[in-house]
Chain A
Amino acid sequence: MSSVLAFSVFGVDWQFIKPFIVIGLAFGGVYALSGVGLVVLYRATGVLNIAFGAIGAAGALIAYWLLNHTGCPEWLAFTVCVAFGGVVNLAYGMVFGPAFARRDPLVKMMGTLGLALILLGIMAWMAPVGGAFARFLPLPSSQHRYAIFGTSVSLTQIISIALALVLTAGVSVFLRVTKLGTAMRALANDREITATLGVPVRRVEAAAWFGSGLACGAAGLILPDLLTSLDYSALTFLVISSLAAALIGRLSSLWWTMIGGLAVGLAQSVISPYASISAYRSAAPFVLAIVALLYLSRRRVVTISRATG
């Protein structure tokens, strides 16, 4: 351990904080990745998909099974994990999307809660905890480590952060430049008018379901490596931090969602060395989301009217 102590931050040596910044940004990258997926889907369909974590966890368990119980090569198992997210999301969107299309956002969200609970039940049934064995889904990229600013950083951590940046930039460009992206933005504004204008609504929604599902699958692949264990319940609750990121982006801004994801990851991790507040680290996503929402809506005028009769 370094004995040269440069300076301290609120009483904790900077050398001690550095590894937590790396860990936090890596987790934040995953939150940002899934947060962006959530926002894209919400903008196109009005559905806040809280089954995101469960879908990613199920994909990761399938990849684990393929790697450990069949002769499946790693690249194929990892591809299946990501593709599973896309396929399950797409299947749900195609089967239940039309039925929920005209319902309140809350009803749409509760539909995805049902999907999350079903997937959790299947995972508990097919891959129960216990047997006194832990499951792992390590990525080959964790074998590569680099010293950056005196802190050990794995390639997986770098990929996590880079993927969040690339996905956010890529989706932003896609929504602006392509026909499909323009249709998605139009859907976000007004589904009925967009349909009247001849946009194939269901096809556009299918693309949103599938694309956001791929982001969810990618998050499900990276997170077990960062967590150093494949625990489907922990993965399922990834959605809480991702939701906080999406709320910071007000369910509309991809860049703010990405920043929100990184901030949530960073906040959760950096408070770890502070003994007096580290017990509250799990509250960080909610606190950040509330602060962001209050700040972003500070100039909003709320009109309250009362019907007279």
Chain B
Amino acid sequence: MGTGKKATGTPIKIGGIDMLIPGVDFTTVGKVAKAYFDCVNDNGGINGHPVKYILYNEQLNPAQEAALARKLVEKDKVVGIVGNTSFAECGTNAKYYASKGFVVLGAGVQAECYSTPSFAETNMGPRYSNIGAAQALIRAGVKKIAIATPDTISAYADGGVVQLGKQKGVEVKVFPTHLPVTDATSQLIQMYQFAGDGNGILIDFTPDTAPAFMKAAIAQGIVNKVKWGSSTPIANTFMAAQFPEFDGHLWINQEFSNVDPSVGPDSALMFAILKKYAPKIAPQAFSQMGYMDGKFATHALLSIKGAVTAASYNAAVKGLKNQKTDMLCKPFYVGSLSYHIPNNWDITVDYKGGNVVVKEKCFPIAPVDNSITQTRKWEKQYHLQG
């Protein structure tokens, strides 16, 4: 890699599966991973071999998810799986991937992405991101939090905030939301009526759905009346530019560094790669996930001595330790663990003048359940972060 010449050898096949349903588009993760591999291929590839990235979309359909995983592994003969993001695919395919010895480098949403050995996600997912946002809101003084999440993941994604509320003496009410959202105004009024002035409303939606709630808040004149928390997906400049009314009123949990090329070399390279290989994709959190998936998969591939096979690639993925990047608070790792939550520190951001600005620097996600506590023990025990 780094030769500046196109790779011309036998392609190394890598696959991915991303969910695309009305109201939620996760294909950005896979598309940016592909852009990363395209850049690798234009710069010598993996010891002269280009990466051929095969990306499938699924529509939140378990039968389709299972079929696509088997197609990738058994028909397409991919050596690894990278860039997966879905509401349900982790649960559907965790056992299958484990049976084949695959460890997916992706971006997770549901519980199985963070509780089985088959996945190592570059993000922390909605549960921990919501906890981070709730921590920030509680630090800001709220006594009540109304939280809304897509109903398909609500129990998992909101459960951590409920536990945090119990620990901190903060009343939490969950509003599971069916997508596509058909009456954001009514739901928002319910949330506001629960929270009351000065307290917190936490929304956990992608930029396809969150704007409906934000528009409704502006129309109802309640932007200034509560403190707004959010998980990571709305931490981007195109949302900041669309919603200047929210400047200074947001506590968005950002699982990664701020989306800004000046943050460091990885952030700068991501902007450059997007510009050249995926110009239609705006720099955003999903781009960071895809970028890191591509980067860490490439590191695993480059570490292989000998033939690149499914066995050698997945062994190399498990060998990833202390992967430093300016996109994360702490280094990324995989290791041979029974589950992986390598991303468990994050920052809080806000909107200001069309930009996203840092409101709080890196802080640890509260260990409201045993998973985070155990993860931090493993990090020390196996020196996973150096």
Contact = CB atoms under 8 A, between A and B. Distances in A.
Given A136-B215, A269-B186, A131 B25 contact: yes
Nearest to B151: A279
A228 B27 contact: no
A154 B185 CA distance: 12
Contact of B184 (A133, A154, A229): A229
B25 A272 contact: no
Contacts of A128: 20
Contacts of A278: 190
B25 A130 contact: yes
Given A132-B28, A132-B286, A227 B187 contact: no
A23 B134 CA distance: 30
B216 A131 contact: no
Interface stretch (B40-48, B205-213, B307-315, B371-379): B205-213
A110 to B, nearest CB: 24
B180 A133 contact: no
Contact of B211 (A1, A229, A272): A229
Nearest to B184: A228
Interface in B174-225: 180-187, 189-190, 192-193, 196-197, 206-213, 215-216, 219-221, 225
Contacts of B210: 134
Contact of B25 (A16, A23, A132, A234): A132
B284 interface: yes
A278 B207 CA distance: 26
A19 B189 contact: yes
Contacts of A133: 207-208, 238
A29 B282 CA distance: 38
B306 interface: no
A1 B196 contact: yes
B211 A233 contact: no
B211 A227 contact: no
Given A20-B189, A130-B27, A227 B208 contact: no
Interface size class of B (residues with CB under 8 A): 35 or more
B220 A152 contact: yes
Contact of B182 (A132, A136, A154, A234): A234
A166 interface: no
Contacts of B185: 23, 226, 228
Interface residues of A, number: 33
B20 A129 contact: yes
Contacts of B216: 228
Nearest to B26: A130
A290 B219 CA distance: 35
A289 B258 CA distance: 52
B220 to A, nearest CB: 6
Nearest to A238: B182
B184 A227 contact: yes
Contact of A129 (B21, B182, B281): B21
Contacts of A130: 20, 24-25, 27, 208
B23 A231 contact: yes
A136 B212 CA distance: 8
A131 B180 contact: no
Contacts of A154: 219
A134 B212 contact: yes
Count chain B CB atoms within 10 A of each CB in A138, A231, A278 and give the residue with the most.
A231
Contacts of A114: none
A226 B136 CA distance: 32
Contacts of B380: none
Nearest to B18: A130
Nearest to A18: B189
A131 B236 CA distance: 13
B280 interface: yes
Interface string B6-31: 00000000000000111111011000
A76 to B, nearest CB: 23
Contacts of A20: 186, 189
A269 B284 contact: no
A133 B25 CA distance: 9
Q: Which of A16, A136, A229 has the most CB of B within 10 A?
A: A229
A25 B209 CA distance: 24
A134 B196 contact: no
Interface string A218-243: 00000000111101011001000000
A231 B215 contact: no
Given A129-B22, A129-B25, A228-B184, A134 B208 contact: yes
24 contacts: A1-B193, A1-B196, A1-B225, A16-B193, A23-B189, A27-B183, A129-B20, A130-B208, A131-B280, A131-B281, A132-B233, A132-B286, A133-B208, A134-B208, A134-B209, A134-B211, A134-B212, A136-B211, A138-B215, A227-B182, A228-B213, A231-B22, A233-B180, A273-B190
Leading 5 A-B pairs by shortest Cβ distance: A130-B25, A228-B215, A229-B212, A134-B211, A132-B207
Interface of B: 20-25, 27-28, 180-187, 189-190, 192-193, 196-197, 206-213, 215-216, 219-221, 225, 233, 238, 280-282, 284, 286
